[in-house]
Amino acid sequence: GAVVSQHPSWVICKSGTSVKIECRSLDFQATTMFWYRQFPKQSLMLMATSNEGSKATYEQGVEKDKFLINHASLTLSTLTVTSAHPEDSSFYICSARDRVWTDTQYFGPGTRLTVL
Amino acid sequence: GESVGLHLPTLSVQEGDNSIINCAYSNSASDYFIWYKQESGKGPQFIIDIRSNMDKRQGQRVTVLLNKTVKHLSLQIAATQPGDSAVYFCAENRNDMRFGAGTRLTVKP
């Protein structure tokens, strides 16, 4: 089946620093990828839609200058949390839609971010 | 906002029993649904999908039923095992896929 990877799987950083998370579709091309955030015991919240070759579309309430998204190729999207603060600590999950073969959305394993 | 939601936040079953997780949706034009399983500390895992031209679809130990009349779908897990313990989400396959709270399935040994 389709595989989506994320790197790193977990990261700990100091407050004020920036952290980059990578999302890759390993065996299919994804013109659109999605970034979600999940707090403990809560559901996934869509943050933004990442479009290859164009600007990301952010959900209401998500700061685009804080959560920078770059979708440089058909298999890679990155999320950079800039000037991270403890309240940004969360589980970040990406997904990618395989439009060619299955038209199904597949999720990555997630990245646990802890900001000290 | 979300267009699909789950009925019960938690479900506890005995190992070996069958589990049924329900989901309702509001958009009658929705034509493709996916069930995901999320284990603790992991991303959602695709389980099974169903399109609106079908009423039922079976996989390995799982069956999804779709009732378009009442806009309801269910996930049935046969002979539930401890490894099935997770949070289950139903979702409409759309670009801005959103999730409800999910149903936490606990399997008692």
pLDDT tens-digit readout, A52-78:
888 999 999 999 999 999 998 999 999
Residue of B31, B21, B6, B9 lying closest to B84 (CA atoms): B21
Distance CA(B89)–CA(B37), nearest Å, equals 6
Interface of A with B (CB under 8 A): 1, 4, 6, 32, 34, 42-44, 46, 49, 59, 91, 93, 95, 97, 103-110, 112
Distance CA(B102)–CA(A41), nearest Å, equals 10
Q: Which amino acid is at B58?
A: Q
Per-residue pLDDT band for B7 (boundaries 50, 70, 90) equals low
CB A30 within 8 A of CB A98: yes
Dihedral sign of CA atoms B41, B42, B48, B49 in order: positive
User: pLDDT of B50-61, one tens digit each?
Assistant: 999 999 999 999
The answer to whether B44 faces chain A, any CB pair under 8 Å, is yes
Distance CA(B58)–CA(B68), nearest Å, equals 17
Beta strand A45-51 pairing with A32-38:
antiparallel
Pairs across A and B, CB distance < 8 A: 51
Residue found by looking up tokens 């209401």 in the block: A60
Give the CA-trace dihedral at A69, A72, A78, A80, to 10 degrees. -50
Question: Nearest CA to CA, how far is B15 from chain A (Å)?
Answer: 24
Q: What's residue A77's pLDDT? A: 95
CB A109 within 8 A of CB B42: yes
Distance CA(A92)–CA(A111), nearest Å, equals 5
